[in-house]
Amino acid sequence: MIEIEQISKSFADIKAVDGISAGITEGSVYGLIGTNGAGKSTLMRMMAGILKSDSGRVLVDGEDVFENPKVKKEIFYIPDDAYFFSNATPADMEKFYASIYERFDRARFAEMLGQFGLEKKRRVSTFSKGMKKQLSILLGVCAGTKYLFCDETFDGLDPVMRQAVKSIFAKEIEERQMTPVIASHNLRELEDICDHVGLLHKGGILFSKDLDDMKLAIHKVQCAFEANQDVTELLAGFDIMKKEQRGRLYTLTLRGVEGDIIAKMEAASPIFYEVLPLSLEEIFISETEVAGYDIKSLIL
């Protein structure tokens, strides 16, 4: 488990991370969402033990991560702009990381290079941005670490490769309880892979929530009523987070259990109604608007 306790980090007069606390459980996929400059990369570097926090601490499996080689052997960090040695090939990078991570699976690495069409003896400097990103991910997965930190992992990957990487992550989580932490500025990239998401803004976390709990607690309903019905009175019993009206058609974002919402809607006797699935983007927009923030101006 990763425990982040009130960590802060400044660079001169810029407050990059400001009093962040969070917990990341093993075997989950944690997403860090936020605009450029929100503090995602700085937070990840402190979690990986690359940067020392000005205050607070990061514990990985109960131990401080900074200047702790034993703990760092369980972490593989993939930065947004991955670094490779000058004139290195994938074979060279494999040799380097295998010397650091004792569980590095060299046979699997060779197999996955073939699956992704990456030449083992070709210079990495001749790879495209997407190919370099793929290589970084394969090195991280084959390192066999417990935690994999990914900064803008899917940036530069085409849609097919994005799905391939998500499938690999899902397999690693199922087979060996790998815990990926993925930073992104795009909600849509994380919707079908993350269990828990934290929203960063100006160095702090606006909120951090479990996606399943959020999806079970918020629902979207479209409904229409007769012209002579008092809609305000009929909807008085609902916990309405957002209401939109077009003629007699209402689109409601409601907080509550689906069964209770359906029962109340039946009692209201609309002409028709239907419960619609909510996307992660819609959930976050609803939650942040209630908290007084306009998420659309932050990350969309």
Beta bridge partners of 141: none
* Residue range(s) in the chain whose domain bears CATH number 3.30.70: 213-299
Q: Is the pLDDT of residue 205 over 60?
A: yes
Tokens 């960090």 belong to which residue? 77
161: its two tokens: 């490769």
CA distance 113 to 38: 34
160: its two tokens: 């097919």
φ/ψ bin of 182: left (φ > 0), alpha (ψ from -120 to 50), beta (otherwise) = beta
Q: What is the pTM of this model?
A: 0.78
pLDDT band at 290 (very low <50, low <70, confident <90, very high): low
pLDDT tens, position by position, 55-110: 999 999 999 999 999 999 999 999 988 889 989 999 999 999 999 999 999 999 99
State which CATH number among 1.20.120.140, 3.10.450.50, 3.40.50.300, 3.40.50.720 fits the domain covering 2-202.
3.40.50.300
pLDDT band at 162 (very low <50, low <70, confident <90, very high): confident
CA distance 162 to 155: 9
* Residue range(s) in the chain whose domain bears CATH number 3.40.50.300: 2-202
Fold type of domain 213-299: Alpha-Beta Plaits (3.30.70)
pLDDT tens, position by position, 117-140: 999 999 999 999 889 999 999 999
CA distance 43 to 49: 10
